[in-house]
Amino acid sequence: ARAGSASEGLVAAARAAALTWLPAVALLALNQLRVRQCTPGTGLAFMLLGPGFGVLLAAFVGAAFAAALRRPRWAMLLGVLAPMAGLGTALHDFWATPAIFVFQHFAGWFPGTLYDEGLAVPGTLITFRGITLLYLVAAASAATAFRGRKPSWGALALLALGLALRLDAAGPSLGHASSVEAIDEALGRVERGEECVVHLPRELRPDVRARLVADCDFRVRHAEALLGVDRRAPVHAFFYRSVEEKRRWMGAASTYIAKPWRGEVHLQLRGWPHPVLAHEIVHVVAGEAAHGPFRVAGGWWPNPGFVEGIAVAVEWPERDGMNPHQQARTLLESNRLPPLERLLSLGFLGESSRVAYASAGSFVRWLGETRGWDVVRRAHDAGDVSAAGLDLGTLEPAWRAFVADVPLPGGARELAELRFHRPSIFARTCPHLVAQLRSALQGDLRAGDDAAALATCEEILAIEPADLFALRTEVAALARAGRLGEAEGRLEALAEGAPIALVTQAREAVADALWVAGRNAEARARYEALLAETQTEDAARNREVKVLGTRDPDAGDAIRDLLVGPGGRQESAPLPLHHAWRIAEARPDGLGPYLLARQLWLAGRLDLARDALADAERRGLPTERLRREAFRLAGVLSFAAGDHEMSRARFEAAVEDPVVRREAEDWLARLDDASRHAADPGASR
pLDDT at 684: 47
Instruction: Give the tens place of pLDDT for each residue, 153-167.
Output: 999 999 999 999 999
**Average confidence score pLDDT of the chain:** 91
Lowest mean pLDDT among 13-22, 255-264, 446-455: 446-455
For residue 534, what pLDDT band results from cuts at 50, 70 and 90?
confident
pLDDT at 37: 79
For residue 271, what pLDDT band results from cuts at 50, 70 and 90?
confident
Instruction: Give the tens place of pLDDT for each residue, 200-241.
Output: 999 999 999 999 999 999 999 999 999 999 998 999 999 999
Q: Indicate if the pLDDT at residue 110 is higher than 60.
A: yes
Cα gap 141→9, rounded to integer Å: 12
Instruction: Give the tens place of pLDDT for each residue, 293-316.
Output: 999 999 999 999 999 999 999 999
Cα gap 216→236, rounded to integer Å: 9
Give mean pLDDT, residues 336-346. Answer: 94
| CB 145, CB 153: distance < 8 Å | yes
Report in angstroms the alpha-carbon separations of 302 from 198, 252, 291, 596.
27, 20, 10, 47
Cα gap 217→80, rounded to integer Å: 48
pLDDT at 232: 87
Burial bucket for residue 15 (CB in 10 Å: 0-12, 13-18, 19+) = exposed
Q: Indicate if the pLDDT at residue 276 is higher than 80.
A: yes
Cα gap 304→359, rounded to integer Å: 12
Q: What percent of the chain has a predicted confidence (pLDDT) above 70?
A: 97
Q: Indicate if the pLDDT at residue 543 is higher than 90.
A: yes
Statement: the pTM of the whole predicted model exceeds 0.95: no
| CB 471, CB 502: distance < 8 Å | yes
Enumerate residues 6+ apart whose C-beta is below 8 A from 325: 362, 365, 366, 402, 403, 406
Report in angstroms the alpha-carbon separations of 517 from 149, 453, 488.
82, 19, 16
Cα gap 481→471, rounded to integer Å: 16
For residue 120, what pLDDT band results from cuts at 50, 70 and 90?
confident
Alpha helices, H only, 2-122: 6-31, 40-47, 53-68, 72-96
For residue 423, what pLDDT band results from cuts at 50, 70 and 90?
low
pLDDT at 34: 86
pLDDT at 429: 75
User: For residue 108, which phi and psi values (nearest 5 degrees)?
Assistant: 95, -135
Q: Indicate if the pLDDT at residue 685 is higher than 60.
A: no
Cα gap 183→55, rounded to integer Å: 32
Instruction: Name the 3-class secondary structure at 518.
Output: coil
For residue 2, what pLDDT band results from cuts at 50, 70 and 90?
low
Instruction: Give the tens place of pLDDT for each residue, 576-633.
Output: 999 999 999 999 999 999 999 999 998 889 999 999 999 999 999 999 999 999 999 9
Neighbours of 79 (CB within 10 A): 21
